[in-house]
Amino acid sequence: MLSLKHSLRWVYLLAACNVIIILAIMVYLDATPLDQEVRLTIRESIQSLTNKFDFTYLKGINKDSKGSAQDTGYTLEPGNVKFKFVNPKAKQGDPKEILEQNTRKYTEVMNQKIAGPKDFDLDLIRAPSDPGTYEHANATIVALVRNSEAIGIGRTIRKFERSFNGKFKYPYTFINDEPFSDKFKKKMQSYSDAPMEFITIPRELWDRPESIDAKKQDELMQIMEDHDVGYAKMLSYHNMCRFYLGNFYLLPELQKYRYYWRIEPNVDFYTDIKYDVFKYMEAKKRIYGFTINLYDIDRSVETLWPETLKFLNKGDNYKYVNKNGAFQWLLDDLQNPRNAKTANGYSTCHFWSNFEIGDMNFFRSEAYMEWFKHLDSTGKFYYERWGDAPVHSIGLALFADKKDIHWFRDIGYSHDPYLNCPHSDDTSGCKTGLLGQWEHLLDQNCMANWIDYSMEDTIGIY
């Protein structure tokens, strides 16, 4: 009978042989002219096989008593908070090959026929026969618009009413940094008989802080504009992003609400939504819902991630990090390595926030607000062009459990040039699985990374 010592030697030897065989196959693939589709299929088969190997019983492999970033992807200690991309799906290939793998994954998931979420009895939250007596969730539909955008937001509301709110009559809250005109109000009231409130933002919650050096901002934004960073020189855009990120939740008129659904002018809704989305969020304790997941302009967020790490390494701020956060999604550098390099480790993946359904209690929380205050103190909402989408997304990925962030895969939605179009009997007017109008947009899709790193089961909910 072999001793334990000799048995372990054989185990190590067999493991080494497996690795050598796999490496030999990979070398052969690189040296042999094969069709790209065949090459990717073989690579993915090898990855699937290697993912099944379990070496955790071997001494010193995959285990670290300190749970370092090397094996878990993060370290959370006072003054020593760091994150690392560990490639949990063992993806292999250059950026072009990774894009093809990710596109295949996205297409495969989007082609699955779905209806509403399966993880809750939707019959309990169907549209009421009489919206007037319906017990609503504590929620509102939010639109940050100007008087001049009456036609565009009117188009959105007409479609939104047909898709969802005509059945449920949730109140609308219109927000503007200038008073709404009577003409605008009457126009909106002609689109829906749901309750409406029109709010003027206090100047102190909207305007650029006096601490910002306007000349410095102008000089820096000229550089960004020279690098084709959109909206860089538009002061109102900087104000809007800062407002949505920290001051939106502080509006007195919104204190009575917990949930919001953000809509914008000239967007499309393609799905007949037959259940109360807010009550679904409430019942499942979801804190955020999105439809589209993209890469951001890397130059617009060059120091957002370093400033975030600086905050987390102050005092006991590490305590705010949720250990089941979406860290790998934040850090993946395989599909768009240039983005991650320019943004100093941040993939730039973000939830496209022109569609978002959120729990304002999360954004009012100590963790989020203390982080926002730190970011605001840097002045970089004006000295860089930090958008509301990447900031929201980093905050959610760090401070929320990723299972509480919900992809509303069943809701067909479009904001030019991107869309989410499910394979569903309740959806019409869009092409199933199409991300955008042009093929060159495919490399901006970050959804496969969310599926791979942050969704435990792609068919468990839909």
Residues carrying an active site annotation: 356
Return the beta strands (E) in 226-280 as ranges: 259-262, 268-269
Q: Is the distance from CB of 101 to CB of 442 less than 8 angstroms?
A: no
Cα angle, residue 114 at apex, residues 111 and 118 outer, rounded to 5°: 140
- Bond into 265 cis (ω within 30): no
Give the residue from 216, 258, 212 showing the smallest Cα distance to 239. Answer: 212
Q: Is the distance from CB of 81 to CB of 75 less than 8 angstroms?
A: yes
Give the residue from 301, 277, 283 showing the smallest Cα distance to 357. Answer: 277
Q: Is the distance from CB of 85 to CB of 328 less than 8 angstroms?
A: yes
What is the helix, strand, coil percentage profile of the chain, to 5? 50, 15, 40
Return d(Cα 56, Cα 378) in angstroms, integer: 44
Cα angle, residue 285 at apex, residues 317 and 358 outer, rounded to 5°: 70
